[in-house]
Structure 1
Amino acid sequence: MALDKKIMERLVEVVGEDNCSDADFVVQPYGKSLDSVSGRQAPAAVVIPETTEEVSGIVKIANEFKTPILPRGSGADLTMGAKPTKDGVILLDLNKRMNKIVNIDFDHMVVTAEAGVQWGQLITALLSQGYYTGQLGPANSATTIGGAVSNASVGGGGETMFAGPGRLVASLEVVLPTGEIINTGSAANPKGKPWFGGRFLGGPDLTGMFIGDPGVLGIKTK
């Protein structure tokens, strides 16, 4: 089912014409993922944001037009969460442009990364300096950090010793279903540091709400 022309025009205003398409040859590949059991359903349009603010803008447009959205990482998913299950869905590809490692603080052993960073990409960056994530990554090295956290995934290479991706998260930047942007855990304090206190300091564990939620409660961007 094609999206209303007005919706497409608004999405183009947010991400640019090159990063928004409803062309069949663009949307069809997003109708499948590593999961091969649940069938195939292509989205109505694919949008590729670059910033958290763009994700927020897309969510607000979807709310305005009452159109379902689906965040997706690399598609290395085994739980049917990376492809639509109905017609008329706007799919947000968070892997293609939101894939930057923002900072690696070796002194405090904390990484700040966008949700579209792939596990193999992060491991390579750390190994070059003699560090390691504590696991090889869920599913495979193509799994994104956002996808691993969203599915509370498990992976080999040391997880039983160092804990899974969800337990390693100190904070999250999340776009709520309203389009509001929030920071949880150690990032909730604007004067704090990413490493200070972890996610359990200063109140309830709001970070934990978004771990294992498959993007239902909010879209993780960092």
Structure 2
Amino acid sequence: MEFVFETRSADLSFVETIWHTHSDRAGSFTSSAVSHWEIVIATFNGKTKIVARGPETKASLADFPAEAEFFGITFKLGTFMPHLPVKTLVDRQDATLPEASNTSFWLHGVSWELPTFENADVFVNRLIRQEILVRDPVVEAAIKGHKPDISIRSLQYRFLQATGLTQKTIQQIERAHCAVWLLEQGTSILDTAFELGYFDQAHLTNSLKHFIGKTPAQIISKIAVP
């Protein structure tokens, strides 16, 4: 099935997006590689589970239950929790946060009320005020193309700490998603490869198969169906 997402932006420099979706029936889907980590709240069978989900470095098959509600807070690159290293969450090594009650959970030794799609901003602001959620301005600057005045090794360390990934891996994932966008806008496979600096069409194809789980031809054929 195709998930229909409701999203909204947040007036917070720490948050990329806040999203909500649901499933009508059980099934599976191809989960694309992503460079951001997030907190996800899933409710099904009358129970709610909250997890910290890390970035994914490759496409993989994911299962989902029937009649479930999903709500998530996706954080901007460079935002992290020092007590919960992002690198320990990479590639489906999700951390389930312990339940405190039917409406609360434990985080960093404190009981927190479960956030909702509507009040996620309040929840994040509390995390920021209590310095449970922080951000690395050096990583943010490097992602925007600025060259920080630190050694390459120091920058690599800070990327791993703040994002769980290397800067190169993040660039590869973002480039793959950009390629998907170009192909969906009608750009040819050859032009997409050239515009994004892939060596050739084979390089583009291998990249999309690894990060997105589809070839350029499959992406184009899907949008060509009326």
TM surpasses 0.5? no
Select the structure that is richer in strand: 2
TM value normalised by structure 2? 0.23
Q: Which has the larger radius of gyration?
A: 2
Q: TM-score, normalised by structure 1?
A: 0.23
